[in-house]
Structure 1
């Protein structure tokens, strides 16, 4: 039932059309609110029902951004949900399983249906198997369809079976670029109960870089797939009113400095400021100096510095971008009129009241890269050579080692540590930004004109964020220069940044592995975690697209780009980076002459239809999915097997054993890899047993619709270091069910623990679960039998996902960790006080007793990170999906 306690309901007339709106100025205190909290305030006013959302909630939000520790819970209802196919397939499998479960329990399966618009973009499946040739795109697309046919049929079925569910077919672009170029409304017009409303667009997405849409002024962030499913089914997002960090911008970027340099600088600043779980909001006179594409790039990197969002207010740059990307004039008029009416239009003279403040003069930004294993580890480009020389010592005992290599075509060279073996213009972060994409193409032109080529050991790829990039490359006449350097388009998708790099040059790969070389990858991405880009590559660096091409020409990270030549011209003369680097004026000129609204209108005219191959897919019909027990891609999920209509009380944990003891910065990549499947791994053996040939293994990410593969891939990252199995690297642990505690795979040990009825514990350090918002990092954890994780600190999404899968996230007492407490992972663990949750109480701490092999005990009170009543309800039900299913059955 709708409630209107503040009399906020009103109307707005725009171009002869009347919209119902909920005015934020109806609430005292709105004037000083940050932009992002005004959006949340409107959301609460519009969804106020007197139960989940009350007048007191609205007053609490209007009181302003908290300066102390947030403690006020609100229920946020996003306007829509956006997904990519890795997480989206798993979501659809869960929804299809939920329909089956409802039917099995005698309910109406059609009740399992998205209540909020849900859009899925297939962009994670294409792998750069082929590169450096004119037909690479076509060949990679052929392989993509061949490998992913089952998954695509499932998604086609879902598009027909579920209302409000749409799929953007393969080969269109990267989800976040498609979102800002086409799907985002900025202000959402929608008929609700027969009334046309206008309200701020907002979204949650099953990819952490959903925050790219923040550049358009849209409040949106990444959630786990399980949380997204609940949002699709009408569940509000439970959250605490966040702290808001005001980031004041002044000045403008200097000549030769790119958007990527600005992003890496801001990433470093905000990581140091500690913004995990907070909103970041840009304001001040420098805002108008930042183009929309740069705003989107900065918003995109929000997960890398840990904030929930990194949002920009609506202004003329926003409406100019909407016009450029082909939005209808009536929609643009609505955006401007609504934003001005509701105080959402940026005014540099007005300064909201923020929880915290930080400031950057854009003129101080200098060219930068980041690496070799974390996006926040910024390196000033001028210091990159000594930085590399120091970093490489951690990866090899012989930094000067060289190995002779001869390619199949007879080309011979010496391969060294630090050699750039992957140079990829890839990922949503930069491939949405015309200035850096066309800047890279200009570098290619200047290099090609001088006769330069990438070094023969470099795998060179371009994966544009949308087909529009190809259009403006063609119109500018620069595509041919990229092709001449081997930077042919390999696909429209995430590719290298998510580990879909494909195989390196075979002879290069063999030399690396036979000689344990520490080679490098340079990519214009946002993720460079260990083991992510390629199993052959130990060191990964983030750089702007123009720098990616420069490094491909140089062929090594062991270079001072200000002093050392990157190659020789046709006459044998040294060529330096400055000789191929375009000026800002050159870039702006080609951008202005190459891009038009017609390109966007043409490419997105029928964005959900797909090509003939997509339309001709043999698609199942009916409201229940036809499961195939022989499938190695799509299996009915086990979460509802044997689930009673009412939840059983939760119990304390006794006799728990440590499955893994991990250090700091363990990412969701470490927990649930998305890359290649090794033949001798548990997942590889499973597929082999099912008759799948090695070349058809595909990636772990593409197999997310099959829990049997994903369980076996959990904690299987090749760079994972489990401290209770010292001397190993990868998915190994000790199995304490056996007398001599042998080292075995994590999966095999977990199987034995489950047979023995032993609950499992994971010990971890700081920033546990950072990185991509992988629901399978939590799903795999729970299916292995882990009941509790004890970490020093958590990444926001992963902590939430653990609760959503029925795992307790505990935190070591402030200033303590496994080492200071003397825990080595051989102990048995008892956690008491869990049963208090059955009584509607959420204790702040839970007593933990770790009993060592000699009988001595380590006791401490761990902080219980179930932060809201909503999270408590999810945990009591065994997970968020079980909670939603029971709510549906009650209705």
Structure 2
């Protein structure tokens, strides 16, 4: 299939540095913004910038408009070099495209559909509501490992997936046909990041201008999944964002970001025999976590890059969220071109990538000098050893010989079970016993490693060798193979290795994220019962990227990240309380012990299988009709037309109320008067605390709503699958069982955990949702108070959307996490910060107060606003607050009630 359809876009640049030029490649002319030309014309030294910073700089040059991108912004990128790689400067970045997965993508498409209804309300043309940049949504987060360990597992899991998610899929299929610049990759194709790497990404993007010119520029993106960074391995700059930022990007709005520090990670040497890319990435993750790279770019350089395949690079880039960086970037070089070729990209695109990258100084060569970095660190690849990470943190790397001792130490200190090392209990109905450290889940899963043929082929060869000796997974191990794309399944089948994986228990269960995001499915009931009745610390081993406690399975406390061949090995051993480097895995069919070294394939054999079985034709065949889907997708019937036929009875997709009663012009701003306090939060309340996530309890407001709608608890699914229904999500906002609202205390004065508040007029303790509804019926606006770093953690759209729908008009904190602050403004909520040294605790607030915020009618960015606080005893005080609406564009969003309303009114006008 040809490269993605280009979109018509006008170059907005004022071109202050006179760098707009033409590049000819095989007779095709491309307009581009030349970095070498900009350097000649005043941007001194920019050839020494890190490659990732050059991509950012080109983006600014191309979009310079004097407002969202100014000449001063561009100059700041040059000054970064002389300021030791630092710049306290905020810039507007416009990605070339947006990538979504279905959990986070559904609410974005819901908002687009609602905007079309809103456009009709304003008397406008609904056809105007489309993404302004290309958007791809890959359905990959919904398949669950219910069936496993048999030939029918894949078909059964797909059938259950469609049963559970039919309403969502009907809606997404409508969107696929209704919106321009929007494509849906149907279920069963692969994980969004791997599909992005193998097919969607182009490294250099093109667009046709209104004048008919073809504009060339770096492929960049934002994605609604934190592991969007995987494509950094293909020299595509991008990272994960929340849904609101993604929607803003879709609608042509800039992404506000600070010019980043860039940490250079120098790689030298080459990996030794028997060491995998997984071992490498766990080492890199540990090193960078120790270094501290949060909110920074990481860029890899040095001669070691010559010994890493593109898949190895993508494995490292994928884990950027785990080592805390915004991205983990690899520049274009010969290996990039090789991968584009074998993965089936068009010859014209590959020629453009090479010519453009070389013309821009974006092509890495051995002769090129090292860029200037903010700071650096270095790793000799030859020092990497076989490793896993666990039992609960991705950066908790342990060398393979130390896994047994590490678990036993954790059993005593972390899990508080001293002297229980040998404890084993029978499993009802089976002839075996379970003990601490037994592996009950072994999953080849996630985008991290299923992008990499070297570890997938190694797993297949290890399975072949194990099967030849009569080994298979222990009977208590739930095994699964969920490749990142159909390409993986195709080359495992072609190489004759899938049949051996089947023999040892690793049958195909689906194409999707599965165990890595907690979609591991239930353990067999009798195993779950044995674990929970006897308080066993069971283990999971997965080839994923996250192993936080409680994430993989509610029955499993100790979770280890490992390479796919080690996942197979631990399934054969059945326990982590065994040193696989010295102790036998199991006894073979001949009665002799089998050691890991006996069945581990050589690097040479792995590479031989890769060379023989992974071809350009294979990629071309698997992606020839990628948007068509399987027969079940083809049979989905949906409405047609510009607007969606909302089903009032749907509990998955509902028309949100953001545009109800919208007028052609924004309602003038007014003061917030007599607001009540919904919650008083302490420091570092994360978006995981605020945003609905995980299972839905029957006794919760969301559970009660579903019961009222006739949904039985067994069919509740989870918050993630119901993100398209605001009725569920607003009920789950602030409902986290661990959140602490300091307004709610027990008889001893201790803060009570859970999503509760006090309805002040009556003094009644209510669920936060129920209290918000009561206040709404009384016409009372709400505010939230918080401490430092409010909203840190993963950026989540519903942390702001849910806050808006609960009627919160302002959030007052000591400080905000940057993205959540932006999201609040995007949803029409005004963020304030206390002046230094102040806070709700210092002011003696207890939540019983009434709050009035004056001066909003003539608001300006970062204006000082006075809060009049009336206490319950009749006393009052006036407190100065700093408005954290930071820019004129953000002020326009707020004036319009949010970014969606702002864009809608502009398009209608």
The equivalent residue for 1:127 is 144
CA contact (8 A) 2:427 2:434 kept: no
SS in 2 for 1:708: helix
SS in 2 for 1:464: coil
Q: Could you tell me how far 1:96 is from its partner in structure 2? A: 0.5
Query: Which residue, out of 514, 522, 534, partners 1:495?
Result: 514
Instruction: Give the whole-Å Cα distance in 2 for the aligned partners of 1:187 and 1:67.
Output: 29
The equivalent residue for 2:6 is none
Residues 467-866 of structure 1 aligned to structure 2 (within 5 Å): 467-644=486-663, 645-649=665-669, 651=671, 657=677, 659=679, 661=681, 668-672=687-691, 674-716=693-735, 731-735=754-758, 737=760, 742=765, 745-752=767-774, 754=776, 757=780, 759-761=782-784, 763=786, 768-771=791-794, 773-786=795-808, 797-807=819-829, 827=847, 835=855, 838-843=858-863
Distance 1:17 1:158, change over 3 A: same
Instruction: Give the whole-Å Cα distance in 1 for the aligned partners of 2:835 and 2:275.
Output: 43
**Mean CA deviation greater in 725-734 or 2-11:** 725-734
Query: Which residue, out of 38, 49, 69, partners 2:65?
Result: 49
Instruction: Give the whole-Å Cα distance in 2 for the aligned partners of 1:580 and 1:615.
Output: 43
Instruction: Give the whole-Å Cα distance in 1 for the aligned partners of 2:22 and 2:757.
Output: 65
The equivalent residue for 2:196 is 179
SS in 1 for 2:197: helix
SS in 2 for 1:123: coil
Q: Could you tell me how far 1:661 is from its partner in structure 2? A: 4.3
Instruction: Give the whole-Å Cα distance in 1 for the aligned partners of 2:881 and 2:377.
Output: 32
**Mean CA deviation greater in 757-766 or 185-194:** 757-766
The equivalent residue for 1:4 is 15
Q: Could you tell me how far 1:314 is from its partner in structure 2? A: 0.1
1:406 paired to 2:427: yes
Instruction: Give the whole-Å Cα distance in 2 for the aligned partners of 1:789 and 1:576.
Output: 59
Cα root mean square deviation, aligned: 3.5
1:59 paired to 2:66: no
Distance 1:822 1:57, change over 3 A: closer
1:142 paired to 2:159: yes
Q: Which whole-Å deviations, capped at 9, do the CAs of 1:387-415 have from their partners, x for residues lacking one? A: 333444576544528563435xx423333
The equivalent residue for 1:212 is 230
Q: Could you tell me how far 1:332 is from its partner in structure 2? A: 0.8
Query: Which residue, out of 160, 168, 189, partners 1:151?
Result: 168
Distance 1:807 1:355, change over 3 A: farther
The equivalent residue for 2:324 is 306
Query: Which residue, out of 228, 244, 247, partners 2:265?
Result: 247
SS in 1 for 2:659: coil
Instruction: Give the whole-Å Cα distance in 1 for the aligned partners of 2:515 and 2:679.
Output: 31
Q: Which whole-Å deviations, capped at 9, do the CAs of 1:651-673 have from their partners, x for residues lacking one? A: 56976546474676x66555445
1:416 paired to 2:435: yes
Instruction: Give the whole-Å Cα distance in 1 for the aligned partners of 2:752 and 2:584.
Output: 38
1:316 paired to 2:327: no
| Structure 1 residues not aligned, in runs of 5+ | none
**Mean CA deviation greater in 655-664 or 491-500:** 655-664
Instruction: Give the whole-Å Cα distance in 2 for the aligned partners of 1:257 and 1:855.
Output: 70
Distance 1:763 1:56, change over 3 A: closer
The equivalent residue for 1:231 is 249
Distance 1:347 1:832, change over 3 A: farther
Q: Which whole-Å deviations, capped at 9, do the CAs of 1:784-826 have from their partners, x for residues lacking one? A: 44556677876654444343334456678999999xx689995
After TM superposition, the score normalised by the length of structure 1 is 0.90
The equivalent residue for 2:9 is none
Distance 1:53 1:662, change over 3 A: closer
CA contact (8 A) 2:696 2:703 kept: yes
The equivalent residue for 1:18 is 29
**Mean CA deviation greater in 237-246 or 55-64:** 55-64
1:201 paired to 2:212: no
Instruction: Give the whole-Å Cα distance in 1 for the aligned partners of 2:249 and 2:346.
Output: 28
The equivalent residue for 1:332 is 350
Distance 1:822 1:833, change over 3 A: closer
The equivalent residue for 1:74 is 91
Query: Which residue, out of 272, 283, 288, partners 2:301?
Result: 283
Q: Which whole-Å deviations, capped at 9, do the CAs of 1:268-305 have from their partners, x for residues lacking one? A: 32233332222221122222222111111121112222
Distance 1:476 1:362, change over 3 A: same
CA contact (8 A) 2:449 2:544 kept: yes
Q: Could you tell me how far 1:428 is from its partner in structure 2? A: 1.1
| Structure 2 residues not aligned, in runs of 5+ | 1-11
The equivalent residue for 1:85 is 102
Instruction: Give the whole-Å Cα distance in 2 for the aligned partners of 1:270 and 1:870.
Output: 35
Instruction: Give the whole-Å Cα distance in 2 for the aligned partners of 1:273 and 1:212.
Output: 21
Q: Which whole-Å deviations, capped at 9, do the CAs of 1:134-159 have from their partners, x for residues lacking one? A: 11111111111222222112112112
CA contact (8 A) 1:436 1:546 kept: yes
Q: How many residues align?
A: 882
Distance 1:638 1:67, change over 3 A: farther
SS in 2 for 1:317: helix
Residues 255-404 of structure 1 aligned to structure 2 (within 5 Å): 255-348=273-366, 349-392=368-411, 396-398=415-417, 400=420, 402=423, 404=425
SS in 2 for 1:351: coil
Q: Could you tell me how far 1:90 is from its partner in structure 2? A: 0.8
CA contact (8 A) 1:769 1:799 kept: no
**Mean CA deviation greater in 451-460 or 481-490:** 451-460
1:450 paired to 2:480: no
Instruction: Give the whole-Å Cα distance in 2 for the aligned partners of 1:847 and 1:377.
Output: 47
Q: Which whole-Å deviations, capped at 9, do the CAs of 1:704-735 have from their partners, x for residues lacking one? A: 11111222333455676778678999854354
Distance 1:56 1:794, change over 3 A: closer
SS in 1 for 2:175: helix
Q: Could you tell me how far 1:359 is from its partner in structure 2? A: 2.4
Q: Could you tell me how far 1:531 is from its partner in structure 2? A: 3.1
Distance 1:803 1:453, change over 3 A: farther
SS in 2 for 1:561: coil
CA contact (8 A) 2:48 2:371 kept: yes
CA contact (8 A) 1:177 1:432 kept: yes
**Mean CA deviation greater in 249-258 or 805-814:** 805-814
CA contact (8 A) 1:500 1:675 kept: no
CA contact (8 A) 1:238 1:868 kept: no
SS in 2 for 1:484: helix
Instruction: Give the whole-Å Cα distance in 1 for the aligned partners of 2:600 and 2:899.
Output: 51
Q: Could you tell me how far 1:830 is from its partner in structure 2? A: 8.0
SS in 2 for 1:489: coil
CA contact (8 A) 2:286 2:397 kept: yes
Instruction: Give the whole-Å Cα distance in 2 for the aligned partners of 1:328 and 1:58.
Output: 33
SS in 2 for 1:27: helix
Instruction: Give the whole-Å Cα distance in 2 for the aligned partners of 1:586 and 1:868.
Output: 58
Distance 1:696 1:544, change over 3 A: same
Q: Could you tell me how far 1:85 is from its partner in structure 2? A: 1.1
The equivalent residue for 1:222 is 240
**Mean CA deviation greater in 312-321 or 458-467:** 458-467
